[in-house]
Chains A and B, each alone.
Chain A
Amino acid sequence: MAVVTAPPPSVSLMHRLKNPKAAVTIFVIAWLPLMLYVMGGSALMAAIEDLTGFRPNADYILLPAIPAVLLLYVICISAFRESAIAIIGATLVFFWFFIAVTAPYLPLLDPNKPIAPFVPPFTAKNDVFFILGTDFKGRDMLSRTLWGCQRVLVWGVSATFVAYIVGTAFGLIAGYISGWWDEIISFLGNVILSFPVMVLFIVILNYLGASGFNIVIAVTFASAPAIMRIVRGLALDVKTRDYVFAAQTRGESALWIMVVELLPNVRGPIIVDACLRLGYTTVAITTLTFLGLGLQPPDPDWGLMIKESAKTAMLFKFSYMLLIPALSVSSLILGFNLMADGLREMSMRD
């Protein structure tokens, strides 16, 4: 049959993301190693050592993630090609993502080893050339900056992800079941939303203690109500559609309808919001770490770098110690925001 295959119509982004199985698999391959590495790389290796008597190098965990990140970047660029803003954003985000997975393999000095304190950028000392200089303890700034993106990325994305799971679950319940459930969930959401965010963070982390896992809990508390509101609104709209009535007539259970009928149809608008919220979470983690309520030393992190040198770097000569982490965190957040902006633009065009 001489069927002339027309060139595939330009598929909209939201449509492409409706069937993103391959991209999700690649993301998982890229993400899980990094998460394992940051959250418990050395503990995992110790456990393997106990079992087998042989201690593998923790850095090997990250090996599968490197090609996966590159592949994911290519997928994202081809999906976003309509919007230059989204491409710039994705490039910024993937730059840091790539640095995070390749950090152990880059030719960097040990980020926690003091070498020579107060070396300004682009100078050599003790036969070592420091591109970004060293901090007040003599640790290499370049290596600390590049290593620093790991923890922000891992905790930021994990916290946002957990917040989305919780927020979406409550939003679907409030929107689909309605009635008393809706009243109670919405009221509790309003109570939490009436706390200014930073005040809520400080109270929760003061109660739980400062650590990465507790940041996940705090971010979940602070973000889930807002996510719940969005999902609730979408669910209220979707549940009047015919296919939901059809499912109800078929006798499907409420849980099944929520997960199978509602969830896939509220996914689109959530993705844009998720990008924005990733930016907020990154700001929150950096700020909390600066305030002393977030991630703890000695491992490098941008917020920590600012916190540690805030007292010593109050001279123009040493201001690079503050400027470098500040610009790094801004570039990551700018990446998330530009990506969200581009995605919104694309979804508006559909």
Chain B
Amino acid sequence: MLKLIGRRLIQMVLIILVASLLLFVIFDTPQFKKRLAVQELGGFAVSALSEADYQEWLASRGLDVPFYQRYTDWMGNILTGDFGFSYEKNTEVGPLLASRLANTGILALCVFALMIPISLTLGVLSGMREGSPLDRSITFISVFTTSIPEIATAIILTVVLALGLGWLPAKSAMIQGFDVKQLVLPVMTLVIYDFGYVARMTRASMAEVMTSQYIRTAILKGIPYRRVVMKHALRNALIAPFTVIVLQLNWLLSGVVVVEVFFEYDGFGKLLLEAALFPDVEVVQACTLAAVVVAVTSQIISDVGYTFLNPRIRFS
């Protein structure tokens, strides 16, 4: 167990290191240095700059030292909490990223709080009796909802609930402070897109357990069906969905971009996109690195959790 966690941790650090190296390398080209100069000095000043002056500017910014030295400096800064400076927002990246990540965290929390019970219930119900009308309709609904991309779900929900019926605000910019009503549409969009996948995974796992021998034995022993499902089947059937749910965190970080942009919710995804379009290189790097760390951590949690929950592996 400990050995597994240790190996996973080493792998995680390696992956984050390689990812950060890649991130640093692709934004280290002369064009991006020039863009940085334009952002700092202004376009006119840069075009008037002579080659020698430009080199001097590079030296003053510390951009002419060898690559590996700058990379280690950059990593060191990040480890001490200095993520750089955002030229678009004119603030430090660290606090900016933290507040946006917190906003996205609220969104993600609501999504998980709704998505987990819905998808597990539907998955267990349809996996309990494979091929029944209930199973077929749940499967069809989950294929259908996962087929509609988030942007389309967002549009349909906005048009019906916000523009048509006027029950909910169409945008979630939260200009006048936090408002739960504005959170409903983005959360609904993400849940509708996501629950189908988890429900199908739960269904597959449940269906597999229900065909196993110990369940047949339990039924033949005369235990009531309800009790067989609740006490015997569920425990084993919910191990696989657990890993899937934790891995959804990785997916949520990419799904959240379009939803936040469409609803103008000030979260991590909107920050990343705005930075990418501006372009605000240090914000892009910080956001991406944060996303990778979250994603890799969720992978480890799901791996370790799986081995911990599965008694066959735990006791071997």
A binds B: yes
Interface residues, chain A, with chain B CB atoms under 8 Å away: 187-188, 190-191, 194-199, 202-203, 205-207, 279, 283, 286-287, 290-293, 303, 306, 310, 314-316, 319, 322-323, 326-327, 329-330, 333-334, 337-338, 341
CA A109 – CA B253 in complex, angstroms? 41
14 pairs, CB–CB < 8 Å, chain A vs chain B? A187-B18, A190-B11, A191-B15, A194-B15, A195-B19, A196-B291, A199-B287, A206-B277, A293-B276, A306-B155, A310-B262, A319-B158, A323-B156, A327-B152
17 A-B pairs besides A202-B284, A206-B284 with CB distance below 8 A are: A187-B14, A194-B16, A194-B299, A195-B288, A196-B250, A198-B258, A203-B284, A279-B147, A290-B258, A293-B277, A316-B164, A319-B164, A327-B152, A329-B149, A330-B149, A333-B147, A338-B143
CA A330 – CA B144 in complex, angstroms? 9
Q: A314-B163, A319-B163, A326-B155 are in contact. Are A194 and B296 (CB under 8 A)?
A: yes
Q: A195-B295, A290-B151, A316-B164 are in contact. Are A322 and B159 (CB under 8 A)?
A: yes
CA A199 – CA B284 in complex, angstroms? 9
Q: A206-B276, A206-B279 are in contact. Are A194 and B295 (CB under 8 A)?
A: yes
Consensus secondary structure, chain A interface: helix
Shortest Cβ distance from B278 into A: residue = A206
Consensus secondary structure, chain B interface: helix
B276 near A202: Cβ-Cβ < 8 Å: yes
Chain A residues in 8 Å Cβ range of B288: 195, 199, 203
Interface residue stretch chosen among B21-29, B61-69, B118-126, B215-223: B21-29
Chain A residues in 8 Å Cβ range of B148: 330, 333-334
Interface residues, chain B, with chain A CB atoms under 8 Å away: 11, 14-16, 18-19, 22-23, 26-27, 143-144, 146-152, 155-156, 158-159, 163-164, 170, 250-251, 253-255, 257-258, 261-262, 269, 272-273, 276-277, 279, 284, 287-288, 291-292, 295-296, 299
Chain A residues in 8 Å Cβ range of B254: 196-199
CA A188 – CA B18 in complex, angstroms? 9
A326 near B23: Cβ-Cβ < 8 Å: no
Chain A residues in 8 Å Cβ range of B279: 206
**The residue from B16, B151, B156 contacting A286, defined by CB atoms under 8 A apart:** B151
Shortest Cβ distance from B255 into A: residue = A198
**The residue from B14, B144, B257 contacting A198, defined by CB atoms under 8 A apart:** B257
B273 near A202: Cβ-Cβ < 8 Å: yes
Shortest Cβ distance from A195 into B: residue = B292
CA A293 – CA B279 in complex, angstroms? 12
CA A203 – CA B287 in complex, angstroms? 10
**The residue from B152, B250, B262, B276 contacting A203, defined by CB atoms under 8 A apart:** B276
Instruction: Pick the most buried of A198, A199, A303: most chain B CB atoms within 10 A of its CB.
Output: A199
Chain B residues in 8 Å Cβ range of A333: 147-149
CA A194 – CA B261 in complex, angstroms? 23
Chain B residues in 8 Å Cβ range of A341: 143
CA A188 – CA B11 in complex, angstroms? 12
CA A75 – CA B278 in complex, angstroms? 49
Chain B residues in 8 Å Cβ range of A195: 19, 288, 291-292, 295
CA A322 – CA B154 in complex, angstroms? 10
CA A338 – CA B155 in complex, angstroms? 22
Measured CB to CB, the closest approach of chain A to B27, in angstroms, equals 7
Instruction: Pick the most buried of A195, A293, A306, A337: most chain B CB atoms within 10 A of its CB.
Output: A195
Q: Nearest 9 CB-CB pairs, A to B?
A: A198-B254, A326-B152, A196-B254, A196-B253, A334-B147, A316-B163, A206-B276, A319-B159, A326-B155
B146 near A337: Cβ-Cβ < 8 Å: yes
A326 near B151: Cβ-Cβ < 8 Å: yes
Shortest Cβ distance from A332 into B: residue = B147
Chain A residues in 8 Å Cβ range of B144: 334
Measured CB to CB, the closest approach of chain B to A191, in angstroms, equals 5
A292 near B257: Cβ-Cβ < 8 Å: no
Q: A196-B250, A196-B251, A341-B143 are in contact. Are A330 and B258 (CB under 8 A)?
A: no
Shortest Cβ distance from B257 into A: residue = A198
Q: A287-B149, A293-B276 are in contact. Are A202 and B257 (CB under 8 A)?
A: yes
CA A290 – CA B272 in complex, angstroms? 15
**The residue from A199, A206, A207, A306 contacting B151, defined by CB atoms under 8 A apart:** A306
**The residue from A291, A323, A329 contacting B258, defined by CB atoms under 8 A apart:** A291
Shortest Cβ distance from B253 into A: residue = A196
Measured CB to CB, the closest approach of chain B to A160, in angstroms, equals 16
Q: A196-B253, A326-B156 are in contact. Are A203 and B26 (CB under 8 A)?
A: yes
**The residue from A203, A279, A330 contacting B23, defined by CB atoms under 8 A apart:** A203
CA A327 – CA B147 in complex, angstroms? 11
Measured CB to CB, the closest approach of chain A to B98, in angstroms, equals 18
Measured CB to CB, the closest approach of chain B to A153, in angstroms, equals 15
CA A198 – CA B295 in complex, angstroms? 12
Q: A194-B19, A198-B255 are in contact. Are A207 and B147 (CB under 8 A)?
A: no
Shortest Cβ distance from A199 into B: residue = B291
CA A194 – CA B290 in complex, angstroms? 11
B159 near A190: Cβ-Cβ < 8 Å: no
CA A157 – CA B220 in complex, angstroms? 52
Q: A199-B287, A286-B151, A330-B149 are in contact. Are A291 and B299 (CB under 8 A)?
A: no
CA A323 – CA B155 in complex, angstroms? 7
Measured CB to CB, the closest approach of chain A to B105, in angstroms, equals 15
CA A283 – CA B254 in complex, angstroms? 12
Measured CB to CB, the closest approach of chain A to B171, in angstroms, equals 8
CA A322 – CA B295 in complex, angstroms? 32
CA A338 – CA B144 in complex, angstroms? 9
Chain B residues in 8 Å Cβ range of A206: 276-277, 279, 284
**The residue from B22, B143, B258, B295 contacting A287, defined by CB atoms under 8 A apart:** B258
